[in-house]
Amino acid sequence: MGPATEPRRPARASKSPALKGDIRIPGDKSISHRSLMLGGLAAGETRITGLLEGEDVIATGKAMQAMGAAIRKDADSWIVNGTGNGCLLAPEAPLDFGNAGTGCRLTMGLAGSYDFETTFIGDASLSSRPMGRVLDPLRLMGVQIRAGSGERLPVTLHGPRTPAPISYRVPMASAQVKSAVLLAGLNIPGITMVIEPVMTRDHTEKMLAGFGAALEVETAPDGVRSIRLEGRGRLTGQTIDVPGDPSSAAFPLVAALIVPGSDLIIRNVLMNPARTGLILTLRDMGADIEVLDPRQSGGEDVADLRVRSSELSGVRVPAGRAPSMIDEYPVLAVAASFAKGETVMQGLSELRVKESDRLAAVARGLELNGVDCTKGEDWLSVRGRPDGKGLGAVSKDAIVATWLDHRIAMSFLVMGLASENPVQVDDCAIIATSFPQFMDLMTGIGAEMAEQ
């Protein structure tokens, strides 16, 4: 099961006429995972609209079902009946997370502190990603761990009879690690503290508070955040409307910027400040992105975006901005390929441990398509060609390797829309992990993009 064993589906994108339309993108992946997890854990009913129905999120739903949650679809809503906090059941089989790092790592926290055995498996991409970052704090809580070499999947966890609360300083900028510790803390008596030196996306904190957890966040003058959670509290089912995913909106957004004459409206995009780094950066580059009707929805900032094609100029992207746009660097590199001058992106070490080594995958794909770029250990610089002349596949064999990474596939398909020559990727099946409608939505606004 899962994309690793499914046949690859090559695809190709070519120079397109102006992109026009008024679109909605699928629900935010981070919030969708957390909605099913917290809904599956809370007492009573949770109703979710706008849930991302991608493979990653479905894997999380199946894991929650395997641990006792009842989940069903009723028209446009997903209805979840949770077990009650502290009442997850031992799964009878390994939990298969496919390609989904967030689902896997957060569930390791959620289930790891229980006095039963849970085994985690995934596809080739997920099985090569580091899990030690989550296993380290779990060990401190007393969780027993069997892991593959280098702390890779498959991993089996068995929580202690009496788990101990910990105070944990997150050593890297990772919302997944922060969230895993907090979710483990739900089943631990006493106070679990997470200290976050650099702020990352705060959906777990916000949603835990929304479900009724006793949680407090303090931010020191230097920006260090301390999150205090009292374990074993009651969580109660909620109604959630998941806003559109800014990390998915990024693809049609960059496409509209680089394809001349484009004018696109993207509705209902999550504008949480911990997620808007790409928009800030593109605006620094001269992008015409209008934020329409900014509003609040379910405790999150949301807005519609109007994007018109723009003459972009290279910028230096500050390293400190990385956590607020960590998933957007591949598509930013594509935008930079069409900008005047050089764009320098720094502080990218976390890019190396995503669904693929994104720094290497992006640099290789750009080079293959004629882009002048240089990469270092944790940085990338791109010198663009505003007219797209000479960009794209120079030969029939110039096919971008996507490495089971949805964002590599989508980024390079976007690149083909403004390049002189078409851009080819070796697989578009993997896109279904986060954005199943991607090809239809893009062709619907005029993009020349198709499976081979």
Beta-bridge partner residues of 225 = 196, 219
Judged by beta carbon, residue 201 or residue 225, the one nearer ligand S3P is 201
Q: Which of 153, 150, 201, 155 is CA-nearest to residue 177?
A: 201
Task: Candidates 173-181, 312-320, 336-344, 410-418: pick the segment binding ligand S3P (CB under 6 A).
Answer: 173-181
Token look-up 């009913």 returns 45
Query: Angle at CA 373, nearest 5°, toward 369 and 375?
Result: 120
# binding residues, ligand S3P (CB under 6 A)? 10
Q: How far is the CB of 326 from ligand S3P (least distance, A)?
A: 5
Contact assessment for residue 121 and residue 129, using Cβ atoms and an 8 Å cutoff: no
Among 99, 176, 281, 343, binds ligand S3P (CB under 6 A): 176
In the list 326, 351, 399, 415, the residue contacting ligand S3P (rule: CB under 6 A) is: 326
- Backbone angles phi and psi of 13, in degrees to 5: -130, 140
> Which one, 102 or 248, has the nearer CB to ligand S3P?
102
Nearer to ligand S3P, 171 or 190 (CB): 171
Give, as ranges, the residues between 272 and 301 that touch ligand S3P (CB under 6 A).
none
Determine, following the binding rule CB under 6 A, whether residue 102 of this chain makes contact with ligand S3P: yes
246 or 314: CB nearest ligand S3P: 246
> Of the candidates 135, 175, 278, 362, which one interacts with ligand S3P according to CB under 6 A?
175
Site residues (CB under 6 A) for ligand S3P, limited to 182-201: 201
174 binds ligand S3P (CB under 6 A): yes
Binders of ligand S3P among 344-363, rule CB under 6 A? 350
* Distance of closest approach, residue 178 Cβ to ligand S3P, in angstroms: 8
Contact status, residue 215 vs residue 232, Cβ threshold 8 Å: no
The least distance separating ligand S3P from the CB of residue 230, rounded to whole angstroms, comes to 22
Whichever of 16 and 179 has its CB closer to ligand S3P, that residue is: 179
Q: Which is nearer to ligand S3P, 135 or 264 (CB)?
A: 135
Q: Which of 196, 205, 304, 327 binds ligand S3P (CB under 6 A)?
A: 327
Instruction: Decide if 327 is catalytic.
Output: yes
In angstroms, the CA 370 to CA 422 distance is 12
Say if CB 49 and CB 2 are below 8 A apart.
Answer: no
Minimum distance from residue 173 beta carbon to ligand S3P (Å):
6
Q: Least Å distance between CB 314 and ligand S3P? A: 24
Please pick, among 245, 327, 405, 427, the residue that the annotation labels catalytic. 327
**What is the C-alpha separation between 56 and 39, in angstroms, rounded?**
17
Choices 58-66, 73-81, 160-168, 171-179; region in contact with ligand S3P by CB under 6 A: 171-179
**Residue 282 contacts residue 333 (beta carbons within 8 Å):** no
CA nearest to 359, candidates 381, 342, 386:
381
Q: How far apart are CA 264 and CA 443, in angstroms?
A: 13
Residue 353 CB, shortest distance to ligand S3P, in Å, is 7
As a whole number of angstroms, the distance between CA 143 and CA 113 comes to 6
With CB under 6 A as the contact rule, the residue among 14, 16, 30, 238 that binds ligand S3P is: 30
Nearer to ligand S3P, 32 or 262 (CB): 32
Catalytic residues: 327
Residues in contact with ligand S3P by the rule CB under 6 A: 30, 102, 174-176, 179, 201, 326-327, 350
